[in-house]
Structure 1
Amino acid sequence: MLCLHACFLACFASTSAAAYYTPAPWSTGTPKPILNAIDSCWRTKSNWAANRRALADCAVGFGKDAIGGKYGAIYVVTTPYDDAVNPKPGTLRYGVIQTQPLWIVFAKDMVIKLENELIMNSFKTIDGRGAKVEIAYGPCITVQGVSHVIIHGISIHDCKPGKSGLVRSSPTHVGRRGGSDGDGISVFASSNVWIDHCFLARCADGLIDVIHASTAITVSNNYFSQHDKMSVVA
C-alpha cells in the first residue's frame, strides 16, 4: 500500500501539460522545455516508433522492473471487435491472453467496446502511442494473478460492470466469471505493473483499483477526470 501510494503522489503531479514544460530553476531568458523522467526517456527520440519496446526501460518507481512484452513480438490490433470466449486474431483480447510476451500496438484509431472484462496474461504491453485508442462503454481491464504488464497511452472511460459468464484468460482456459465491478483497470494479486499516460474517466466503480497484496506497481502521468473515486489501494 505504501509503495504505490508514494509513487502515485510523486508521479500524478506530472499529469498536466504544464507539468511537462516547467521553466528550469535559476534560468534566465526564455525557459527551455523540461520533460519528466519518463517522457525524456522516449519522447525526445524522433525514431521512437521504430523501437517501441524501449519504452519498457523508462519506468520509474516501484514498478520500474515491469518489462511487459519487451522481449516478445509486436502484435497489431486491427479491429475493435471483441468476443469474450473465442477471440479472433487481430483483436485486442486475442493478443492479451496469449502465453508468450507480446508488445501490442494499434493499426488505427478505434473505440473498443468489450463484451466482458478483458483479462490480461503476463508479459504484455498495451501501447496506444500513434493512435487514438479508447476502451469504453462496457467492462474494462482486469490484471489478476499475473506479472509484468504495461498499459500506456490509451483512454479508458465509461466502464460498466461485467456480467456473469465465460471469459477466456489464455488460449487454453475459459473460466466462469462472476462479473467485474466496473473499474477502469483492476489490479488484483499482481506484480510488476506500470500504468502510464492513460486517460481514465466516468467508471462505475474505481478508475484504478489496486488490491489483494499487489506489489511493485507504478501509476504515473495519468489523467483522472469526472469521477469521485480515482484509486483504491489495499
Structure 2
Amino acid sequence: MLFGASDSYSADKKMQVTVALNHFGKGLVERMPRYRFGFIHVVNNDYNHWFLYAIGGTNNPIIICQGNRYSAPGFGAKEVTYRGLLKPAQWKNSNWVSQGDHFENGAFFTPSGNPSANKQFGANKMMPFKPG
C-alpha cells in the first residue's frame, strides 16, 4: 500500500487514512503501508513477517499506530518503522506514535514527535482499538 502521489505533491497533506483489521504475512517486503504526507491511523493490524520494514513514511506524515501486533521475522529487519534515507534531525519532530501495540521476536517501533499526538487530532473521533 502506498498513500501519497509523490514526494513533491504537498496537496496530500490533507489526506486522512485509516488502515484497520488487516493481516500482513509471509512474502511481504515493505509498504504495509507507506505514506507521504497526511494523517494515518494504523489500528488492529497483524504483521507477522516483513523483509525491509512494515510501516514507512516521508514528508512528515502523522502516523498513529494502535493495537497492532508486530512479530518480526527470524531474519532481516526487526524495526517496524522506516523513514527513508532521512537523518534523525529531519524526522525527530514528526509525530509517529505507538499505543497498545504488541511486539514479538525482537520487533520494535521507533517513535518520534509528540507521544500524545492522537489527542491533537481528535482521538475521540478515531476508530477505537483493542490492545495488540
TM-score range, shorter-chain basis? 0.5 to 0.7
Alpha-carbon RMSD across the aligned residues, in angstroms, is 3.3
Larger helix proportion of the pair: 1
Q: In the alignment, what sits opposite 1:18? A: none
TM-score normalized by structure 2? 0.54
| Displacement of 1:217 | 3.9
Percent of residue pairs identical: 9
Residues in 2 aligned to 1:117 and 1:218: alpha-carbon distance in whole angstroms: 27
Q: In the alignment, what sits opposite 1:125? A: 41
Deviations 1:6-34 (A, max 9, x none): xxxxxxxxxxxxxxxxxxxxxxxxxxxxx
Is the contact made by 2:28 and 2:49 (CA closer than 8 Å) also made in structure 1? no
Q: In the alignment, what sits opposite 1:112? A: 24
**Matched residue type, 1:135:** Y
> Mind listing any 5+ residue stretches in structure 1 that lack a counterpart?
1-92, 162-180, 225-234
| Displacement of 1:134 | 0.6
Which residue of the other structure, out of 157, 163, 183, is the alignment partner of 2:79?
A: 183
Higher-Rg structure is 1
Is the contact made by 2:68 and 2:101 (CA closer than 8 Å) also made in structure 1? yes
Q: Which is bigger in relative contact order (C-alpha 8 A, separation at least 6)?
A: 2
User: Residues 155 and 149 (structure 1 numbering): CA distance in 2 closer, same or farther, change over 3 Å?
Assistant: same
TM-score normalized by structure 1? 0.34
> Mind listing any 5+ residue stretches in structure 2 that lack a counterpart?
6-11, 118-130
| Displacement of 1:185 | 2.9
Is the contact made by 1:195 and 1:218 (CA closer than 8 Å) also made in structure 2? no
Is the contact made by 1:186 and 1:208 (CA closer than 8 Å) also made in structure 2? no
| Displacement of 1:120 | 2.5
Residues in 1 aligned to 2:98 and 2:114: alpha-carbon distance in whole angstroms: 12
